[in-house]
Amino acid sequence: MNLRLLRELDRKELQGKRILFRVDFEVPVENGRVEDDFRIRAVKPTLAYLLASGAKVLLLTKRGHFDITKTPELSTKVLLSRLEIIFGEKIIFLENFPELEKFSLDSPEKLFLFENLRFWPEEEDNFEEFASKFARVADIYVSDNFGAAHRAHASVARLPALLPSYAGFLLEKEVSSLERLIENPKRPVAVILGGAKLETKLPLIKRFLASKDKVLVGGGLANSILFAKGVNMAESCREKEAIKFLEGVDLQNPNLYLPKDGRSSQNQITEGRITSVEEIKPEECFYDIGPKTIEEFINVLKSAKTIFWNGPLGMIEEDIYTRGTIELAKRMRKMDSFKIVGGGDLVGILDEKGLADNFNHLSTGGGSMLAFISGKKLPGLEILKKQIPAD
C-alpha cells in the first residue's frame, strides 16, 4: 500500500511548520492514572522527529466510545502528566476551538494537546466544517493513528484532504508489517486467535483456513467453537449465536486447532482445575488453556515462518488465568520466525510482563488491524493514498 510517508519530507521542510499530529491515545485510565502507556510510547519516534525538525505540534486524539458524556474523567487532560514524562516536553492543553489561536501564534511553545475529539459529535459525523477548524491553523497533517484508521471520522478521513498529509513512522510500520502477513508471507503461516467477539474474528478464521494455514484458537473464541462442535459448556462462557456464526465453517478442518484441555471453573474468580475437553462439566467454562494445549500449539508454531497472534488465550482480567498466554509467549522467544502481535489486551499484558521484545511487531490496532487483514479498505489509510501526486 503506497502511502505518503513522513520520511519523504526533508527536515528543512518541517522547520517552523504547524503540524496536526493525529494519534491514538485510547489508553486505560484508573483514578486519573494511565494504566498502560504502550500506545503513547509507540508514537514517540515520529513526535521526536517533528520537534527536532523545528515544527510546532498539536496532538489530536479521541477517548471513550461513541455517544460519550463530556466528563472530566474522559478529558485528554488526564493524560497530560504521563505525556510530559514520556515525551520530555512541556505540553499546552487546549480545551476548545477558541484556544486554537494559541497554537497558531508565533510563540515559543512547541507541543500542544487538544481536548477529546469525541466531545464534539461533528467528529463522528465526519463534518468538513469541523475538520476545517483545525486545518485553518495548521500547515501539515501527520497520522500515526492506526487504531482508529477504520473509522470514517472527521479527524481521520476528512481533515487529511484539507492539508498536505503524511503517514508517520508508526503508521508506516503498522502497514508494512501487516502487509508481510497478507501479501506473499513466508510459509508455513500460523495464526493464533483468542479473546472474544467471534463475529469480528470469523473472517480471519475463514481467510487463513482457506489459505491452508494453521489456525490455533483459545480464549472465548475457542469456547464458542467447542460449543458449536457439541461440547456442553456453560452459557456464560460462549456466544449464544456461535452455531449461527460458524455455519459454513469446516470445524473438522485438520488445520484448525482447539484446546485439548484447560483450566475449568464455574466462575472466573476461583482457580478451578485442569481438565480435558471430554471431562468438562456442563456448568463449567475454560478460563485458560491447559498444558497439553500449550504443548500442541508450540509444536505447530515451531515449524512456522510467519506467526500472527491476536487476543489472549485466557481470561486475563484475573492473574490466575494469564498463565497460558504468558507461557506461550515465553516459549515463542527462541522461534526464528516473523512474529506479529495485535489486540490491546494481549499487547498490554506482553508489554507489562517484559515479553514485548519477543516479537517483531506489536500492533496498536484492534478493530483496524482485523479489518486490514480481512481485506477491507480503511478510510484513514485510503485518504493518505489519495494524497500521493499522480505521475
The CATH number of whichever domain residue 314 belongs to comes to 3.40.50.1260
How many helices and strands in the chain, by DSSP H and E? 16, 17
Report if residue 371 sits inside a domain. Answer: no
- Output the pLDDT for position 197: 86
Report if residue 134 sits inside a domain. Answer: yes
- Counting the structural domains of the chain, the total is 2
Report if residue 178 sits inside a domain. Answer: no
Q: Are residues 197 and 265 in the same domain?
A: yes
Report if residue 344 sits inside a domain. Answer: no
- Which of 48, 36, 119, 49 has its CA nearest to residue 89? 48
Report if residue 141 sits inside a domain. Answer: yes
Q: Are residues 155 and 207 in the same domain?
A: no
Q: Are residues 102 and 223 in the same domain?
A: no
Kindly report the number of other CB atoms within 10 A of residue 167's CB atom: 30
3-state secondary structure of 253: coil
Report if residue 179 sits inside a domain. Answer: no
For the full predicted model, state whether its pTM sits above 0.75. yes
Does residue 71 contact residue 64 with C-beta atoms inside 8 Å? no
- Output the pLDDT for position 389: 59
Q: Are residues 168 and 25 in the same domain?
A: yes
Q: Are residues 149 and 210 in the same domain?
A: no
Q: Are residues 154 and 210 in the same domain?
A: no
Query: How far is the C-alpha of 141 from the C-alpha of 150, rounded, in Å?
Result: 18
Q: Are residues 156 and 24 in the same domain?
A: yes
Q: Are residues 288 and 244 in the same domain?
A: yes
- Output the pLDDT for position 70: 87
Q: Report DSSP state, residue 211.
A: T
Report if residue 118 sits inside a domain. Answer: yes
Which structural domain, as residue segments, surrounds residue 239?
Answer: 187-336
Q: Are residues 232 and 94 in the same domain?
A: no
Low-confidence residues of the chain: pLDDT under 70: 388-391
Query: How far is the C-alpha of 177 from the C-alpha of 358, rounded, in Å?
Result: 15
Q: Are residues 14 and 156 in the same domain?
A: yes
- Output the pLDDT for position 391: 47
Measured torsion, CA atoms of residues 64, 65, 66, 67, in degrees rounded to the nearest 10: -60
Residues near 382 by beta carbon (within 8 Å), at least 6 away in sequence: 157
Q: Are residues 115 and 191 in the same domain?
A: no
Report if residue 351 sits inside a domain. Answer: no
Q: Are residues 164 and 309 in the same domain?
A: no
